[in-house]
Amino acid sequence: MELVALQLNASDHWPVNQAKIAALLERLPASRPLLVQLPENAVVFGNRQAVQAVAEPLGNGPVQDCLAQWARQYGIWLVVGSMPTQTEQSDKLHTSCLVFNDKGERVACYHKLHLFDVDVADGHGRYRESDTFSPGHELCVVDSPFGRLGLSVCYDLRFPELYRALREQGADILLVPAAFTRVTGKAHWLPLLQARAIENQCYVLAAAQVGEHAGGRQTWGHSVILDPWGDIQACLPNGEGLIVAPLEQHRLDSIRRQMPVAQHARLRAVWRDNE
């Protein structure tokens, strides 16, 4: 079993991004099974108008049909880091991470919990995801041939309690598709990912956007695959491409057996005692 992260420089036009993803999928290793992850905003990376133009109802639309077809065609589990999906609020969307199995069936959907409303010292400056998106309200852990997958998206990475909750629900692999800014990525991307891997004793699969985008956006790249000890198994600092690393169940089991931190955690017991 192998983990794969695709690194993209996505635009605000789905046909352009579609062609880029298709070309990278042609470069997948021949071995199966493969868990393949696309970064956040893989379908469209642009302003409100560009995102709304591509948004689809969950489970229905040509973009989702294409994604499902890729999963079937290549016989892969495909994690679409995020695409915009419509909500009951006509003026707001969800940033949705979708998981398709190797038959092209959608087996999971996670709506990004934490929205990136911050100011960054870069060419874009002001980020307000809440102008376009509504936050999700549920965790998502899904069974797969690779183990249990814990879903998250980008800014979620700064909230360790989310990943502890995913681990408590049995996650073995933490999925962190992202479009980290160049400024915040240089400072915090790898340390945060390694912390999530180490403290939860999980593999981390983190596909990223890279380079210059519409509207002055600059993303950090450095897609990475980490093992449950926090060691880098593969990394792509710059440019579009893909990285591959083996999933070693015996290493996951060994680390958790030798240092059973999940069994040692006592904060919930302390909180109950103090109620």
112 is catalytic: yes
Q: Which CA distances in Å does 258 have to 67, 115, 193, 228, 233? A: 40, 37, 22, 12, 21
The closest alpha carbon to 7, from 185, 132, 160, 156, belongs to 185
Residue 56 tokens read as 């689809």
Question: Which of the residues 2, 112, 129, 202 is marked catalytic?
Answer: 112
Q: What is the DSSP string of 205-250?
A: EE-BBEEE-GGG-EEE--EEEE-TTS-EEEEE-SSSEEEEEE--HH
Q: Are 217 and 183 in contact (CB under 8 A)?
A: no
Among the listed residues 97, 109, 154, 202, the single catalytic one is 154
Please answer whether residues 8 and 17 qualify as being in contact, where contact means their C-beta atoms are separated by less than 8 angstroms. Answer: yes
Q: Which two tokens stand for residue 185?
A: 């990525």
Query: Token pair for residue 168?
Result: 């408590």
Question: Is 186 annotated as catalytic?
Answer: no
Rounded to an integer, what distance in angstroms lies between the CA atom of residue 157 and that of residue 81?
Answer: 14
Say which amino acid occupies 169. Q
Whether residue 154 lies in the annotated active site: yes
In this structure, the number of other CB atoms found within 10 A of the CB of residue 265 comes to: 12
Catalytic site positions = 40, 112, 154
